[in-house]
Amino acid sequence: MANDASAVSDARSPAVSNDKLADPFTPPADSSLWRKNFLLGAATASYQIEGAVDEDGRLPSIWDTFSAKPGKVLAGDTGAVACDHYHRWEADVDMLASLGLEGYRLSIAWPRVKDAAGLPNRKGLDFYKRLLNRLKEKGITTFVTLYHWDLPQHLEDRGGWLNRDTAYRFADYADLMSRELAGTVDAWATLNEPWCSAYLGYGNGHHAPGLADGRFATQAMHHLLLAHGLALPVLRANDPASQKGIVANIGRGTANSASAADQRAAHLFEVQHNAWILDPLLKGAYPQDLFELWPGTEPLVLDGDMQTISAPLDFLGINYYFRTNVASDGAHGFRDVPLEGVERTQMGWEVYPDGLRDLLTGFKSTYHNLPPIYITENGMASDDKVIDGHVDDTQRISFLKLHLAAVNQAIKAGVDIRGYFLWSLMDNFEWAFGYERRFGVVHVDYSTQKRTIKRSAELVAKFLKERKARV
């Protein structure tokens, strides 16, 4: 889940107009979403749902350490219990299947499957084997992310992503997992949102491990992307039948005025959010505009690194949530200028589906080797409550309908998009915002762990049932 606000933010969602209560979810008849081969699923991440942080040999992660520090996470929340998925996974898979969702994107907790000496932790590996085997039994397509931010703390103690050796340790981890889980994974993603890992973790300190230095951010990014590149040939060798890719969060930046300075600011925003990751992956070089924005932060790049990083991908995962309106800061960068009178979510993020369409079509023009795309995360947080056994998450229903329409527009414009994953399957630990912000299509009562299917999930299930009946 992409998250670039500080832990102390307390934005609230606006009231939703009654006319949206009648807004159906079902896409129009000419929508590409009716295609039989368009995958519709839901996503989660290990630290956000599993809990059981000290069971069966799991080691501490940087998020265990970070969330234990006062003031780092809203209300002092941690992922120690989360959704207790580690113990409730069978029921959660049954719930996923009952909704008719065709795909499930999950991540593996690196600290759960290897010990500090780099040896396999069999109890942790067995957990994921049981989970993936059950998903395959249910006929659910499996997308597995190797790194969704929970770096083992013992690696952070040796420098984390600032240490080039971590990239090689990641390749070792990818080797173990792809040997152990070969045949149960349809698609491997090496990293989730390296922008968040590098910038929020090492650039501004809002995420684990909580460091704040521009030079740290660019060097951490380089090592993250190097880790991705080193892992790809290992995954291909061990599990040749699966797809291999990476997941990037993208941001739409719009200019506050038509002035050249503000237009440049919007360009630099998108360089920092998008080209910083996509250019090395798809062009084999970092965008030089990035170092105009952050002078003197060029990472140490060794011979052969960029060739490793830019190896061909089978797919590119795209996570999108909102746009940012910016103006020139009067120097070399940009500043946020929040727009008034726009719809916002519980996170304070603007609902702007056109940004997803515009970015996707822009990528098609910019990157002539753009691989097939899956929207691996899209969704919104709202202050959902169970009333008489039901959750009527009206704003989310509208959000999903609008963003799926934007995806359809991008497909009609020629972008090869093959699937869409809701973020998230269920409410969970929302990183620096703890448990207050609810992104799930299934409500979780954290005091009882009761799951309640929201109206949005019911409508998605209804659509999938209708689509299946048409085939």
Is 1 within the bounds of a domain? no
CA–CA distance, 337 with 353 (Å, rounded to integer): 19
Residue 431 among known ligand-binding residues: yes
Residue 148 among known ligand-binding residues: yes
Q: How many domains does the chain have?
A: 1
Number of alpha carbons in the 13 Å side-chain half-sphere of residue 64: 22
Q: In this predicted model, what pLDDT tens digit does every residue of 109-131 receive, in sequence order?
A: 999 999 999 999 999 999 999 99
List, by residue number, the catalytic residues. 193, 377
Is 11 within the bounds of a domain? no
Is 251 within the bounds of a domain? yes
Residue 34 among known ligand-binding residues: no
Residue 128 among known ligand-binding residues: no
Rounded mean pLDDT for each run of 10 residues along the chain, 471 residues in total: 40 37 74 95 98 98 98 98 98 98 99 97 98 98 99 98 98 98 98 98 98 98 99 98 98 98 98 98 97 96 98 98 97 95 98 98 98 98 97 96 97 98 98 98 98 97 94 70
Residue 307 among known ligand-binding residues: no
Element (H, E) at 263: helix 260-270
- Please state the pTM of the whole predicted model: 0.95
Beta bridge partners of 373: 316, 417
Is 7 within the bounds of a domain? no
**Dihedral, CA of residue 216, residue 218, residue 223 and residue 224, to nearest 10:** 110
Is 118 within the bounds of a domain? yes
Is 450 within the bounds of a domain? yes
Is 6 within the bounds of a domain? no
Q: In this predicted model, what pLDDT tens digit does every residue of 319-376 receive, in sequence order?
A: 999 999 999 999 989 999 999 999 999 999 999 999 999 999 999 999 999 999 999 9
**Dihedral, CA of residue 239, residue 244, residue 246 and residue 247, to nearest 10:** -100
Question: Which domain CATH number covers 26?
Answer: 3.20.20.80
Is 363 within the bounds of a domain? yes
Strands 334-336 and 315-328: antiparallel
Q: In this predicted model, what pLDDT tens digit does every residue of 66-100 receive, in sequence order?
A: 999 999 999 999 999 999 999 999 999 999 999 99
Instruction: Give yes or no for a contact between 131 and 89, defined as CB atoms under 8 angstroms apart.
Output: yes
Residue 63 among known ligand-binding residues: no
Cis omega (within 30 of 0) on the bond before 209? yes
Residue 48 among known ligand-binding residues: yes
Q: Identify the domain containing residue 289 by its residue range.
A: 18-470
What is the biggest distance separating any 2 CA atoms in the chain, rounded to whole angstroms? 62
